[in-house]
Amino acid sequence: MSCAHLDQILQDLPTEEAKRGAVCPACVAMGSGWLHLRVCRSCGHVGCCDSSPNRHARGHWEATGHAVIASFEPRERWSWCFADDLLL
């Protein structure tokens, strides 16, 4: 299976420097926590993963249609397409 959303990728994979000290802004605003962070490959929005209580990265996809995210965790360099349910 191939990803039909590769044309949405406008952001490079995040650097290790960019990941340092990162937070899920929506969780911080709610006074909530998160497990792992993801970054939108279309616009750079940072949100929490599907294993986190609030699933802000998925909510961003549902609100915007930006389907491709990348891990925003140290030493991880992978992307995921929500729409195609596919590791890139």
pLDDT the model gives residue 80: 98
Helix, strand, coil percent content, the chain, rounded in steps of 5: 25, 20, 55
Q: Report the distance separating Cα 85 and Cα 55, nearest Å.
A: 16
47-61: per-residue pLDDT in tens? 999 999 999 999 999
11: confidence class by pLDDT, cuts 50, 70, 90: very high
pLDDT over threshold 90, residue 1: no
Domains of the chain: 23-87 (3.30.40.10)
15-50: per-residue pLDDT in tens? 999 999 999 999 999 999 999 999 999 999 999 999
75-87: per-residue pLDDT in tens? 999 999 999 999 9
Measured in degrees and rounded to the nearest 5, phi and psi for residue 6 equal: -60, -25
pLDDT the model gives residue 38: 99
* pLDDT (average), residues 61-68: 99
